[in-house]
Each structure stands twice: as structure tokens, then as C-alpha cells.
Amino acid sequence: MLRSALLAAAKSPACRSLVENAPPVRPIVDRFVAGGGLDDAVRAAKELSTDRLVSLDHLGEDTTDREQAGATVSAYQALLRALGEHGLAERAEVSVKLSAVGQALPVDGEKIALDNVRQICATAAAVGTMVTVDMEDHTTTDSTLSIVRDLRVDFPSTGAVLQAYLRRTESDCAELVGPGSRIRLCKGAYDEPESVAFRDKTEVDASYVRCLRTLMAGQGYPMVATHDPRLIAIAEHLAGKAGREHADFEFQMLYGIRPEAQELLAARGHRMRVYVPYGAEWYPYFMRRLGERPANIAFFLRSLLTK
């Protein structure tokens, strides 16, 4: 229930203004967000890429303003050029939310998002890196997968995200296990209705394992996005059983979450990618991270009360 309340607050302008203007909030946000600008993103990518891979996310989502969507494209292109100039393109890709590049626009949203993300993919290809398309709430799943299919015609390395909490995802995994298909499997971060999603943690975890089995046995490139130690151990086991070498799959975690586990997996020879968000639009991302772990909320509330 608390998680649902926080995810509802993530969409509330009043809560947004309250949280964004609370003076003690910045140090907590800094745990999950690399900083406000391009330089912060490049600095974080440089630091992390000594032993890990990186996926950078220019924060922003749900735009209903076409100019804003265009500005997001420019921000990604500037980021990608900077990654190229700093010699980071081999170790750093970008993650893009389609709702930040126009998918939510009332007229021609899907087409505008496709045109926009295509420009980002073209710049990524020019500097020698790739794009993974994030997955948002279930109302966008069909549209997002259709856009990924279109992008893969010209940019076959484009990654897609599947969410184990959705009942449909096992069959989506089976459809997306072709050669080279980069699939990031996560549990899912939105507040979804029972009709489309498992809401019980045990059921979500069981679905995650079923999806992992399919992805590991397939011909694609699984990206195991979880901080859950049990699922990480199962992924290692299934990869071994499928005869996959370290180069044939990767683990992924979010910036600031279980960094010691990230270092450990990298030290054991695994490909370990950190998802690094940066930018001014941190509020909805931050609220989803609070919702994932009750201890984060307690920490957040305590710091509000003690300042």
C-alpha cells in the first residue's frame, strides 16, 4: 500500500513541489542520481567504467510538449558526443524513455517518439555505442515494443526492457530471443493492476525466473537487471547450464544501489552495467526508488524531521 501511495505521489504536482523544495532532500537524491548536468554524467561514467559498464539516462518522462521532446533528443545527442570525445563509447550506452521523446503526445505521439529515438540511435551508432529503450507503464508496452522492432531494422543492437511483473512477459521473452536480441529483464517499477500484473513478490520472482530460463536458453543477449541476490545466483546458474560465457550476458544495477555487490560481480569477471540517471527531472525516478524499499522511506522521513 505504501508503495502504491509513493507511486501515486510520483505523479502528483503538489507532492513534487513539496519534496523538491524540502532542503534536506538533496543528499538523499544524490545517492540515486549522478548530478544535474552533462559534466556530472561524464564524470560518473568515467569513475564507474574503470571496472563496470554504464547506461546513462537523461532524466525526464511523460512530456506532452513537442519542443521539450526535441530538447531531450538534443540532450542525448550532446551526451553521446561527449561520451565519444572522452573515449567512453565502448563502455557506456544510453537508456531512453519513449515518453520523454514524445510517446505521450496526444497527436501522433508514437510516430514522433519513433522519429526522435531514431535520431538518438543514429548518433549513438556514429560514436560507436548503443541505445536501450526503457519500459514504462503497461499501457505503453505494445507501442514501445513496436518501436523497438522498427528501430532494430536499422540499429539491430537496440535493447528492449521487459518487466517480469507483467503477466504477458513470459510470452514476450519467447518472442524476443532471436540472435543478438538485447533484452533487459527487470521486475517492474510501476503500480500496475492485478488484471495485467502479478502483485505478490513471490509471484513476481517466480515469473522473473521463468523469463530468465527463456532468455538464457535463447540466442539473444540477456541483461539481468536486479539487485536481488537470489535471482542473481539463479541467473548465474542458468547461464552456466546454457553454456553461456561471461561475455554472453550481463548483470545490471541502478546507480547507488548495492555498489559493493556491483564491484564483487565485476571482480568475478562478470559484465556488470550500472544504470546512471542524471539531470534536473529527478522527482518521479526518485519516488520509484523510495517505493522499492521501506528502509529508504524511513531514512528519507528521518532526515526531513531531524533537519
Stretch that binds ligand FDA, among 112-120, 212-220, 226-234, 298-306 (CB under 6 A): 226-234
The one segment of 44-52, 86-94, 98-106, 188-196 that binds ligand FDA by CB under 6 A: 188-196
Q: How far apart are CA 138 and CA 87, in angstroms?
A: 37
Determine whether the annotation assigns residue 129 to a binding site. no
Helix 294-306, helix 283-292: angle, nearest 10: 120
Q: Which of 9, 42, 44, 254 binds ligand FDA (CB under 6 A)?
A: 254
Check residue 52 and report its DSSP letter: S
Write b or e for each residue in 241-271: b if 16 or more Cβ atoms lie within 10 A of its Cβ, otherwise e. eeebeeeebbbbbbbbbbeeebeebbeeebb
Tell me, yes or no, if 248 is annotated catalytic. no
Q: Does 186 bind ligand FDA (CB under 6 A)?
A: yes
Q: Are 25 and 33 in contact (CB under 8 A)?
A: no
- 46 assigned binding-site residue: no
241 is in an annotated binding site: no
Is residue 183 part of the contact set for ligand FDA (CB under 6 A)? no
| Chain residue whose CB lies nearest ligand FDA | 227
Q: Which of 57, 134, 172, 191 is labelled catalytic?
A: 134
Element (H, E) at 8: helix 2-9
Quickly count: other Cβ atoms within 10 Å of residue 142's Cβ: 12
| Member of 49, 144, 158, 163 binding ligand FDA (CB under 6 A) | 163
**Residue 277 binds to ligand FDA (criterion: CB under 6 A):** no
How far, in whole angstroms, is CA 112 from its chain's centroid? 21
> Position 178: which residue type?
G
Contacts to ligand FDA from residues 62-81, by CB under 6 A: none
Catalytic entry in 184, 191, 205, 273: 184
Residue 11 is assigned to a ligand binding site: no
Which residue, 117 or 186, is less far from ligand FDA as judged by CB? 186
The yes or no reply on residue 251 touching ligand FDA (CB under 6 A) is no
86 labeled part of a ligand binding site: no
In the list 15, 71, 196, 257, the residue contacting ligand FDA (rule: CB under 6 A) is 257
270/273 Cα distance (integer angstroms):
9
Q: Could you tell me if 227 and 253 are in contact, meaning their C-beta atoms sit under 8 angstroms apart?
A: yes
In order of 128, 218, 219, 248, 271, the CA distances from 243 in angstroms are 28, 11, 11, 9, 16
Check if 154 is active-site. Answer: no
Binder of ligand FDA out of 99, 116, 214, 226 (CB under 6 A): 226
Within 34-140, residue ranges assigned H as helices are: 38-48, 66-85, 109-127
Is residue 204 within 8 Å of residue 188, measured between CB atoms? yes
Does the footprint of ligand FDA cover residue 33 (CB under 6 A)?
A: no
What character string, x for contact with ligand FDA (CB under 6 A) and - otherwise, covers 109-148?
Answer: -------------------------xx-------------
Helices 283-292 and 2-9: crossing angle in degrees, nearest 10, is 180
Question: With contact defined as beta carbons under 8 Å apart, do 192 and 166 qualify?
Answer: yes
Binding residues for substrate: 97, 288-289
> Which residues lie near ligand FDA (CB under 6 A)?
134-135, 161, 163, 184, 186-190, 225-228, 252-254, 257-258, 275, 289, 292-293, 296
Give me the active site residues, please: 134, 184
